[in-house]
Structures are given as C-alpha cells and as structure tokens.
Structure 1
Amino acid sequence: MGKTFIIDNKAENQFLVNREAFVDQAIFEQERANIFEKCWIYVGHESEIKNNGDFHTRTIAGKPVIFTRDAEGEIRVLLNTCTHRGSLVCRGEQGNCKTFLCTYHAWSFKNSGELVGVPMEKDGYAETFDRKALDLHRVRNESYKGFVFCNFDDNAISLEEYLGGAKVYLDYVADQSAAGMEVLPGTQKYAIRANWKLLGENSIDGYHVGYNHKTYLDYISDEGQDISKGLYGEGKALEGGHAVMQYEAPWGRPIAKAQENWSDEKKARIAAKRAELVELYGEEKARMIADISRNVWIFPNLIINDIVSVTIRTWDPVAPDYMEINAWALGPVDEDAKERELRLDNFLTFLGPGGFATPDDIESLETAQLGFKNTVKQVKWSDISRGMHREVSPTTDEKQMRAFWRKYDSLMNAEEKAVQETNA
C-alpha cells in the first residue's frame, strides 16, 4: 500500500497534508527517486555562461554538476565526477576553461565531456580500452526563455510540455526588456533547518505577510506606501504542480515616498520603457509585466519572485529537516547604473538572507519543523483547506499550495498507481 500523503475531500472542502512528509527519512529518499530523478530541475540562466568555456559548479538534487558552455557554444550539464575513480573533476565555483582535470590521477576532459587525457595510457591499458565509454556523463538539459533546466530521466517529457501553463508567467519575467534579461553577479547562499517543501509553500503564501512581516510593512508605510489593500490579487493553481500568486505592483517596494516625488528624468525613462513594452507585446501583456507583481512556483523547487526585484531562488534538499538555498537577482541587460543599484538594494533589503523578509520566513519555517516533532499519532495532518469553497482565490487562500501537493501525491504514488492500472 502506498502512503496517504493528502486527503483531498472536495465535497467537504477539506484538504489535509500528512506531516510525515516533512520528517520521515524513507519518504525523503522516495522524493529523491520519484520527484528529483524524474522532474525538470532548474540549473541556471544562460546569461551566467555567456562565453564559450564559462562554467559554474552547482549541486542539483544532491548531485554535483558542472553547468557550462562548451567550446562550440553548446550548453552542457555534466556530472562532476571522474569516470575513473569518482573524484570531482572541477572544484572551482565558477570560471572559464577548455578542460576539466581530475587532480587524483590527472584524467582530463573537454568542457563538452569527452575524455581527452589519460596518463600512461598506452602501457597501462589493453587495446580494448574505450575512451569514448568514459566520457563525463551528460545530463539532458533544455531551456526556456534563458532558464536552463536538467532532467535525469532521459524518457521525460520536454521542458516546454512540463512547464505548461507556467510558461506565460515566465514570459512576463523574461520579456521585461527587448535587450534581454541577465543574472547579476553574485549569489546569495544560506541554509534553513526545515523541510524543503515548506519554503515552496511560504513563497506563494499571501496569508502570512501581514503578520509575519509586520516590521517591513510598518517601514514601507512610513516611507509613504499605501498598503491598505494588502496583497490585492489572486492565487492560481497551474497544471503540473506549478502555481502563481499575483497582485498589483508596486506594493511592497520601498521606493522614494510616492511616484509624484520622482524626477522628470525618471518619469520619462519609465514612460519610455512602458511604451516599448506596449509596442512589443500590446497593452495587456505590457500591463501584466509593468503593473502586476508575481511569485511563481515551478514544481518542485524553483521560485521566481518578481516583486521588489526579480529574484531566482532555488533550494536543494539535504535531509528531511535541512535544505540549502541559492538566490540570484535578474535584471534587464540595458538598465542604467542607478536602476541597477536600486534593483540590487531591493533584492538585498527584502529578500536577502539578512533582509526584512527572509529572516522572518526562516524563523517561521524552522519553528514549524520543530512543531512537526508532534506528528504521526498526535497531530498527523496539516490543514491546507483555506479558500477551497471558492472558484477564484485571493492571495491569502491556499489553492496555490494544493496544486503542489496534488502533483506531489501523484508522483510519490505513481508506481503503485501504474501497478493498479496494469492489474485492472
């Protein structure tokens, strides 16, 4: 019998999540196999490897990989393990090189993965020695609007099919400038002593904002922002476990007092940018880009926060109660120095690990994880039923989370369902 992860009772408007999913080691290992080995996982942005030979080393689903652009300009995701005896072939975090060298026995590989150097090869190996069979393992990768994902399952559906209805929300992010978007230098790295799924839930949860982030709300209110409407918008469940929370901008942005205080030069730049978006995409898409903020959750572990700045945030589950987070700022290639300074300040001030919001969130997630010690027999279920009785949900509802959990449950019980269908 498979595990009952959710109770999805539409007749009674009740949705419960089994708290074992946050604490159990066996379930964690099953997640590795059923989700992270099967789904498209975000690796990086094409702008991070602009030049042939550029690379970044990253951990994706617990696996060390090299994210690189090879000598021919092709994007590669290579497993960072020597095919001889397993050592890392690249120990730097980023750089530019033509080959990767294992320092253990000096085997060397092109940045496309081919094994090109084996010391003492002729007198050490028989004629049957096959270099080709010992290339670095190339992980399947595809990109959408510059966002690069990999998949450890060669039989998985295409990335575009996987993204489904989430593509339009990635479009709103990727199409903010005709010149293109780029990841800005620098990575925010931190860890949270909580289950990885809690960060996804929190990132599209408008319910907690008015309470958990009161200090920040008081600050921007003092700066002249009208926050009386709250996060006025909608939470949406997208197919494939993806979800979005969107609301009116510029709520939550600590900009100078109010728009009437902007300089004529700044107003002119903003008007020109809006006119460019209208010319490129039409009024409606320009409005969605310029006037609407959004938090997009791409199943299972990518969040795009297009709010106080555009933030790419992903996390790697290490244990049932521990995850490691990486975050990057994304901005238009052609923005001027002042705009970029403000973007980076907003990125750090609100979403940074020492900013207004993130420490609040970390504290909440870690205390939830502590609370999960009271689980299994005594308090087995979390209630995620808010707003289940209505079709259109405000951002304070939990429709967004239910999208994730329904997909999670289907993948975690996929093998049992396949057997049942076979035996039917």
Structure 2
Amino acid sequence: MVRIPGRETEFVRDLRSPNRFLVSRAVFTDETVLAREREEVFSKCWIYVGHVSEVPKPGDFVAREVAGRPVLFTRNSAGDVRVLLNSCSHRGAEVCRERRGNQRRFRCFYHSWSFNNDGQLVSMPDEEGFPEGFRKEDHGLAQPAAVGQYRGFVFLTFNEEAEPLTDYLADAKYYLDLTADQAADSVGMIVQPGTHEYSMRSNWKLLAENSSDGYHAIPVHKTYLDVQKSRGDQIAGSTDKDWKQSHAFDLGNGHTVTVKQAPWGRPIARWRPSMGDDTKATVEESYRRLVEVHGEERAQLIANLDFNMLIFPNLVINNIMAVIIRTFYPNTPGHMNVTAWSLAPADESPAARRVRNESFLSFLGPAGLATPDDNEALESCQRGYQSRPGQGWNDVSRGMDKADPPNWDELQMRTFWRRWDELMGGKA
C-alpha cells in the first residue's frame, strides 16, 4: 500500500490512525470556493476541447465553451488543428455565432473585422482610418497558452507554465490508448454526430465523484440492471458478484480510473442476451476484427475491460457498454452544464453502429435508464446541503484500509480531492 502523508486543511481532513477522509460540504456551496476554482483549477490545468474527428477537413470548425470561455475549435487551411478564443480583438464581440461549419474566415458582425482560421486579422473596413503604427499582425485572435493532442483527444491550457500534455496525462494515457485502439490506426475513432447538452442543479465536483463511483450502482441503477436481467443477462444484483476483477487506481495528477468486468454487453466485442439474438454475429465479427488488428491478448483486453476514468478536473471517459466523452463546468456552486458525445470506430458497420447506439442511449443518454438516476442523486445531495449551509463533512473513507480497493470503494474520489485541495492551496 502506498503511504500517503496525512493532511488536514480548511477543506479536507485526510487523517491517519485511524484512517478517515472527510470533505467539507462548504466546497459545494460557497461562492468564494468557485471563484478560486476558476483561477486555480480551470485556468491552470489542461482542459479537454474536443476530438480531431469533429473537424476532419481544412476549414471545419466547432464553436463551444471550454472552461467557461467561448472558443473556436478548427482546422486551418494547412489541415492543422487550432483553438482560437471566440472574441474579436477590436471590441470583443464573437467572431463566429454558428455552432459548426466550414469556412476560411471568421468575420465579426459588429465592425466586420475578418480573421483567417489561424486567427490572423486579414481585413477590416476603412483600415486607413486607424492611426500611424497600427498593424493588422498585432491584432489577431487571442489563443490559449498551449494546445496539445493525444490519440485524437485535443486539450488546451491557459497556463503559460503548464507541463507538456503527455506529462500531465500521466498514466491516463494507457486507458486513452485502450479506447483509441477499438479502431485500427488507419481509420481511427470518431465522435458520432449529435451532442448531449443538459444542466444539473448540483455542484460540478459531485459529478466528478459520481462518474467513477461503483458503490452507488446497485441501489441507484436497479432499474437498468433489472431490465438487462429480464432480457437474459446474468446479473446477480450485488457488487462483489457482478463486478469481476474490480480495482481502482490513482493515475497521477488527480486522474483516476476504476476497472472491472461488468455483467452487461459491450458492442465493441462482448455479446450478451440483452443485446438480442440478431446482434450476436455482428458483435462476434467486431471481436474478430480486433484480433486481426491487435492480436488475441490485446483484443481480449479491449473487449472485456470496462473502465470509468476521470481526467482531472472535468473530463470523463467511460468505456463501458459504450464509450462516452463527458465534460462539465460550473455556472454557480449549485449549477453546472454538462456536454457528452458518443465515440465509435470510424469503420464500424451500420449494423454494429446500431448496436452501439442502442447500448449507449439505454444507459448513458440523458433520457436513458441510468443518467437521470445519477442526476437526481446529485441534485438531491445539493438540496441536502441546504439543511446546514456551509457546515458538515462528507465521508469519503471507504476502502482506506485496503491495499487493493475495488471500484465500489472510494480511492478514486480521494485521489481527486487530494489533487483539488493541493491546487486550491488548502490551508491547515
């Protein structure tokens, strides 16, 4: 067991002899905490922007908010990925008000300044009206401090002193590789068309916890498990029987993962009766393709290792009955916006894609059999915190005495909170 020194701050009590881990409930309700998070967490970490498959051709762009800031995720004319801040260098208006498309230039509707997809100012009305010394090259669109990508996943940071992305990702790269390897390198993975966007009346850190919390699965997602059982899947309804080879790991830099072999099917290559007899050949063909591309040993790993991963602070990759990319960002201490996408092999057959979409939407979609349960649980927590505003402590101690805690213990939450507290400069 790794020996982590105890720590007791204004927000976290990480205690020893006996082990106990407590988180102040004030961190979920306090406006000053959120202000510090925006400065110390979201402005300094690497934050997920999008997947390269969303902008496949030169000129393609997607406009979205990343860490609360409007950005343009695009490819320039040479085919290189760019991230530009969506705010005109003249008076600040958005230079693009479309959600997505393809264009060589972004033109601000306010005064018609135009920028290419490298962010350079290329034209403006009445240029001669500006004073001597005015240079267009000094007025390009602002950009993040750095942009990086790993296996198609694109991140940005606003921190001039940030470590390289590959260092920041640490051991999370292993699980990003497992995700990307569902497809051959020659075709890659793609974000499927369509985006899930919704909001929740709860603190963003509750979703960071929930996304890899195995302890709640049996009581909260009973309906989903009962439906799968009624369709023929072997589901016992208990954590120790249904989650095989279950573990939780600290991946470094606040990133966490829980791994297991779950009772449900996986469209990439693990058929279960609930998927329907007519899909069995399709799923088995997916497995044959994995073996052909990666060999038997890695194919087994890709097909059968379910994992829920949080890349700190706000990116979730859940590679379970389908693959979801999910991000979330706070608006207030008690309200967040959530965005999610489905990731799939680009060369998946129409039959296999149908199986994937049904698996994805039945559990992971915002109107599925599980996501609404999670949303209600987290909103219930947020309402409960009003019983004693700014007071009380959450207990996150489960599994602290174990050398190898399973996914239904809470090592993954403690990993998140230790990194969060470090960045927030928690005072003793």
- Whether the TM-score (by the shorter chain) exceeds 0.5 is yes
More divergent stretch after superposition (391-400 vs 253-262): 253-262
Paired residue for 1:389?
A: 401
Determine if the alignment matches structure 1 residue 318 to structure 2 residue 331. Answer: yes
Deviation at 1:127, TM superposition (A): 1.9
Paired residue for 1:213?
A: 221
Tell me, what secondary structure is at the counterpart of 2:273?
coil
Answer yes or no: is the 8 Å Cα contact 1:39–1:151 preserved in 2. yes
Q: Distance in 2 between matches of 1:211 and 1:301?
A: 25
Deviation at 1:236, TM superposition (A): 1.5
Paired residue for 2:51?
A: 45
Distance 1:364 1:198, change over 3 A: same
Tell me, what secondary structure is at the counterpart of 1:236?
strand
- Normalising by structure 1, report the TM-score: 0.92
Q: Distance in 2 between matches of 1:136 and 1:25?
A: 31
Determine if the alignment matches structure 1 residue 61 to structure 2 residue 67. Answer: yes
Query: Where do residues 289-368 of structure 1 align in structure 2 (5 Å cutoff)?
Result: 289-368=302-381
Q: Distance in 2 between matches of 1:224 and 1:92?
A: 46
Answer yes or no: is the 8 Å Cα contact 1:25–1:319 preserved in 2. yes
Aligned residues: 410
Distance 1:368 1:71, change over 3 A: same
Paired residue for 1:131?
A: 136
Answer yes or no: is the 8 Å Cα contact 2:323–2:344 preserved in 1. yes
Paired residue for 1:90?
A: 96
Paired residue for 1:168?
A: 174
- 1:185-242 CA-to-partner distances (Å, cap 9, x unmatched) read 1101110010001011111000001000111111000011112222331122221100
Answer yes or no: is the 8 Å Cα contact 1:205–1:396 preserved in 2. yes
**Aligned residues: CA RMSD:** 2.0
Answer yes or no: is the 8 Å Cα contact 1:20–1:376 preserved in 2. yes
- 1:351-384 CA-to-partner distances (Å, cap 9, x unmatched) read 111100011001000010011113456x421000
AA partner of residue 383 (structure 1) = D
Deviation at 1:249, TM superposition (A): 4.4
Deviation at 1:260, TM superposition (A): 10
Paired residue for 2:385?
A: 372
Question: Structure 2: where are the runs of 5+ without partners?
Answer: 1-7
Paired residue for 2:243?
A: 231
Q: Distance in 1 between matches of 2:153 and 2:16?
A: 35
Answer yes or no: is the 8 Å Cα contact 1:256–1:262 preserved in 2. no
Q: Of 384, 399, 402, which aligns to 2:411? A: 399
Deviation at 1:155, TM superposition (A): 1.5
Deviation at 1:273, TM superposition (A): 2.0
Answer yes or no: is the 8 Å Cα contact 1:231–1:251 preserved in 2. no
AA partner of residue 192 (structure 1) = M
Answer yes or no: is the 8 Å Cα contact 1:216–1:357 preserved in 2. yes
Tell me, what secondary structure is at the counterpart of 1:373?
helix
Paired residue for 1:177?
A: 183
Q: Distance in 2 between matches of 1:263 and 1:160?
A: 38
AA partner of residue 220 (structure 2) = N
Paired residue for 2:5?
A: none
Paired residue for 1:111?
A: 117
Deviation at 1:7, TM superposition (A): 0.5
Tell me, what secondary structure is at the counterpart of 1:372?
helix
Paired residue for 2:208?
A: 200
Q: Distance in 2 between matches of 1:395 and 1:57?
A: 36
Tell me, what secondary structure is at the counterpart of 1:410?
helix
Q: Distance in 2 between matches of 1:275 and 1:184?
A: 24
- 1:89-125 CA-to-partner distances (Å, cap 9, x unmatched) read 0000000000001101111100110001111111x11
Q: Distance in 2 between matches of 1:55 and 1:259?
A: 36
Tell me, what secondary structure is at the counterpart of 1:137?
coil
AA partner of residue 87 (structure 1) = A
AA partner of residue 89 (structure 2) = T
Question: Structure 1: where are the runs of 5+ without partners?
Answer: 418-424
Q: Distance in 2 between matches of 1:116 and 1:267?
A: 51
AA partner of residue 132 (structure 2) = E
Distance 1:105 1:197, change over 3 A: same
Answer yes or no: is the 8 Å Cα contact 1:223–1:256 preserved in 2. no
Q: Distance in 2 between matches of 1:5 and 1:252?
A: 40
More divergent stretch after superposition (355-364 vs 259-268): 259-268
The percent identity for this pair of structures is 46
Answer yes or no: is the 8 Å Cα contact 2:60–2:100 preserved in 1. yes
More divergent stretch after superposition (310-319 vs 259-268): 259-268
Q: Distance in 2 between matches of 1:98 and 1:241?
A: 39
Tell me, what secondary structure is at the counterpart of 2:343?
strand
Q: Distance in 1 between matches of 2:288 and 2:44?
A: 44
- Normalising by structure 2, report the TM-score: 0.92
